[in-house]
Amino acid sequence: MKNWHFSDYLLVFVLASMIISLGLTVKAILATSGAAREQELFLLLEIILGIVILLLPRGVAWLGHFELPAILYTLFIVFIYGAVYLGTIYHFYSLVPLWDKLLHVGSAMLLGCLGYALFGLFTPKKQLRQLSPFMLSLFAFTFGLALGVFWEFYEFTFDGLLGLNMQRFMVGNTLLHGRAALMDTMGDLFADALGALIIVIIGYCGIKRNPRWLDKFLFRKK
């Protein structure tokens, strides 16, 4: 406990919340039938997957004998909590205006941090200290934004294959046209750009002031 970081306490809180919801969902499955039971079973699957995804980075770090950057893992936990626990279990996507856009901002911030971390992982430390803060931040920004674009590719592909509406091109059974059909996708991309920009401005100022500031984003061998 003495060596725990904020991310460790946050992980326990989110994990406990999900386990409680898991138990409540199992109870609901046993008490319902028909279509309601199918919905609860699907929710149960989402919770289980959420728990697996939440613990996956820790498992990879344990197998690879390295430490996760605390800031990176903290943002990851917050994102999973917002997307799976609040968004899916408690329906924040439909109850809270722009919840999806807030998550896109958060995910882009997370991916921008990951961009810094990956750049540091594949660059010798001596060379890393000599690199321009602007170039490091430009890579982090483009990395975060590019993965946001690939997410939109994923939504577009599976909307077509499975008849989903992840890109919100329909309202009910009404097909949108023109700019209205693009609003959700473009809004997501603007949110991705904003989130990546926020983290790289923070990163640029920190690295410019002290090159060792980047160390908080780096993976460390145990």
How does pLDDT run across 11-52, given as a tens digit for each residue? 999 999 999 999 999 999 998 888 888 888 989 999 999 999
Measure the CA–CA gap between 189 and 154, rounded to whole angstroms. Answer: 13
Locate 131 and state its tokens: 């690199």
First to last CA, the chain: 18
* 2 pLDDT above the threshold of 70: no
Please report, for residues 123, 165, 215, 217, 220, the alpha-carbon distance to residue 211 in angstroms, rounded to integers and kept in the order given: 14, 45, 8, 12, 17
Neighbours of 198 (CB within 10 A): 16
How does pLDDT run across 137-150, given as a tens digit for each residue? 999 999 999 999 99
Q: Give the model's confidence band at 177: pLDDT under 50 very low, under 70 low, under 90 confident, else very high.
A: confident
How does pLDDT run across 90-110, given as a tens digit for each residue? 889 889 999 999 999 999 999
* 1 pLDDT above the threshold of 80: no
Question: What was the pLDDT predicted at 14?
Answer: 94
pLDDT above 70 covers a percentage of the chain that reads 99
Q: Which residue has better confidence, 179 or 105?
A: 105
Question: What was the pLDDT predicted at 195?
Answer: 96
CA angle 190, 218, 103 (to 5 degrees): 25
Locate 78 and state its tokens: 């917050």
Question: What was the pLDDT predicted at 98?
Answer: 92
| Least confidently predicted of 43-47, 71-75, 139-143, 173-177 | 173-177
